[in-house]
Structures are given as C-alpha cells and as structure tokens.
Amino acid sequence: MEALTYLGRIRRFRKLAEEALYAYGLANTRLTFLTYHGNVIYRVDAPGRAPIRRSDSRYASNRYALRVHMDYHSTAALRSELEWLSALRRDADLPVPEPVPTLDGELSIEIPIPGTSERRKCSLLRWLNGRFLRRGFRPGHAMAWGRLMARLHEHAVGWKRSKDFTRRHSDWDGMFGDGARFEFPAGELWEAIPKRFRGPFEQVTGEIRNVMDELGKGQEAYGLVHSDLDVNTNVLFGGGEARVIDFDDSGLAYWVHDLAFALSPWQGSAELPWVQDALLEGYSEIRPFPEAQLGHLDLFMAAFNATLMLWMIDWTKLCPESSEARQSVRKYGQNLMRYCEHS
C-alpha cells in the first residue's frame, strides 16, 4: 500500500468499503468519501435499504458512517470502543454514534485490501444529526457541552467494563513515554526538543508527574473519557443539546484531562474565562467536578502542549520536509514558556 499513490490507496479503500457493506446487508448503496486522516471514513446512504433501527430524531434516517480503520488500534481496542459506545446508547441514551452490527451480530469486521496481503478492520455507525458551531458559540452552548461531558463521565464511573476491555492510558507514560506509542522511542524525541524549550518542557512534565502520583488512579480521579471533546471538530449541536462524535482517542485518563483537552483551543484567548465558567456550570448540573483536580487545570493544559510537542517532533523525524510540524513545535513550546512564566 505504501508504494501506491494517494489516489491509488483511495481506490483500493473504496473497493474494500464496498465489500464491507455486504456484511451489513447494505450492498450497492451510495458511498461517499469523506476523509482520509487516520481512518478512512465514508458516508453511506441507503434509502429504503437499511436494516430497521429504532426511531430517534438525533439520527439521520438510513444514513451511516463507515470507518476503515488504520492499524494504530488493536482489534481488542476497537471492540472496546464499540462496546462503550453501545453501552452509552443502551444505558444512558446519550447522543453518540451508535454502532451497527453486521448481519452476523458482529460490531466490527476485517476485510482484505484488494490486490495486497493487508487487511483492515471496519465498523459502521449510525449518522448523528447536528451542526458544528463555526461561529456564534455562546454560554448556553458551553453549558450544553459541559452537561455532555458530565454525562459521559457519570456513565464511565457506573459502568462495569468487560474483562477484555482495553484502551490507551493517558497517564504520565501514556503521554510522555513509550506508552504513547510514538513512531520513535520517547527518549529520542526528548533529546530532539529545541534547547530553548527543554527547561519549560521538563518543568511541566515533572510537575504533572508529581500531581498524577498524588491523585492516584482511584475512581474519583481516573476513568474512561472521550479525550478529544474539541467543540470545533467533535461536538455537534442540535435539539437543544450537545452531541459527540469520533471516539477514536477515547481511553483512561484523569477527569481533568478531558476538560483540559476541551478548553485547549481557547488558550491565551480573552474568551477562556467565560467558556470555562459556562462549561463547568453545565457540568455541575449533572455531577460536581472534582475540586482537587480543578486546581490543576492550567497544568493539564500545559501538559497537553507538551505531549503535542512530542508528537510533532515525532512527525518531523518521519517527514523532515514538513514545515507545518516544525511550526507546531514552536507554537507548543511557546505555550509551555508562557505557562512557566505565570506559574
């Protein structure tokens, strides 16, 4: 596959997607390519052809998202994601992409890539209605967003995961060590940090190691989170509520980790205080946010920059010609410097 052009890969993936739809009883339906960023995602329109699903205005009738998964998640990890999504719908009626089983009752299947010896896992999700708020984001939206986050956390606390459940951990090693599964060893990435950013990077990673050790991993501090509740890319609004898509990064982390990732686009913005206050007001309608963690929010936001810096350095080592990755390293490094100057 790597020897093929981008267009060549897209053509192979489309044939794979068409083959996968047979397993769902959706052969010869309309397939629309959406994105090839990590996973390959297609919209599936099947008017009058789709398996009967329970009625819910949150979902588009007879429309689905087919995901062709890349190989960065194991089969067990993918099954665990789909297991949680199914439980969120079944137990809490949350507005999330609901997994659709194959005709054989499986939540995912594995299909060979035509003309190669490689295979890819596929999954099908109901299409969630809603719209992104590219502008006009107001306190009421932030409160709905907070209620959504709280309901996800509340379900995670009460839900009993299966013994085979496995998702990545965003603990210290999972963010800054080899547990993050970078392409290169974490030690090499640390050594490649630009000199002027090494002090701030080491300060932030040292501080958050101590805080994580203090918090521990008990249920009051640590659990299953979405891990990418970015209102610009993964949160839809409709029917007076916030709805969430793309659970690809979901895993085990501190509750404040979810909050820090969600608020990170507002770093350095004059709007951050009201966005944060409204989000937490909505959250508190469902459950109280752990005060012991809330005091470390700025540190967790800085840690988000530190881990993204490592990912961008990883990318520059893979693609030395990428000026975008180098610019991102500088941006995240400057954010770390600002945190250290004000902490």
Report if residue 259 sits inside a domain: yes
Q: Helices then strands (H, E): number in the chain?
A: 11, 10
pLDDT in tens, 246-297: 999 999 999 999 999 999 999 989 999 999 999 999 999 999 999 999 999 9
Q: What is the pTM of this model?
A: 0.93
Average pLDDT over residues 87-106: 96
147 with 285, same domain: the answer is yes
Do 163 and 279 fall into the same domain? Answer: yes
pLDDT(243) > 70: yes
Does residue 184 sit in the same domain as residue 82?
Answer: no
Q: Which residues contact 102 (CB under 8 A, 6 or more apart)?
A: 23, 24, 109, 124
pLDDT in tens, 298-324: 999 999 999 999 999 999 999 888 899
Residue 1 lies in a domain: no
In contact, 256 and 294? CB cutoff 8 Å: yes
Q: Please give the single-letter amino acid code of residue 88.
A: L
Q: How confident is the model at residue 3 (pLDDT cuts 50, 70, 90)?
A: low
pLDDT band at 118 (very low <50, low <70, confident <90, very high): confident
Q: Which of 1-15, 112-126, 187-201 shows the lowest mean pLDDT across its residues?
A: 1-15
The CA distance from 153 to 144, in Å, is: 14
Q: Give me 109's structure tokens.
A: 């299947």
Same domain, residue pair 89 and 143: no
Averaged pLDDT, 15-26: 94
Structure tokens of 194? 């630009």
φ, ψ dihedrals at 3, nearest 5°: -75, -15
Mean of the per-residue pLDDT values of the chain: 93
Q: Give the separation between CA 165 and CA 76, rounded to whole angstroms.
A: 7
Q: What are phi and psi of 136, to 5 degrees?
A: 80, 25
Name the 3-class secondary structure at 323. Answer: helix
Chain Cα centroid distance, residue 332: 19
> pLDDT (tens digit, 9 = 90+) per residue, 55-71?
688 999 899 999 999 88
In the listed set 66, 96, 128, which residue is the last one of a domain according to the structure?
128
- How many domains, the chain? 2
pLDDT reported for residue 1: 58
pLDDT of 140 higher than 60? yes
**Domain coverage including residue 268:** 139-342
Residues 123 and 65 sit within 8 Å (Cβ to Cβ):
no
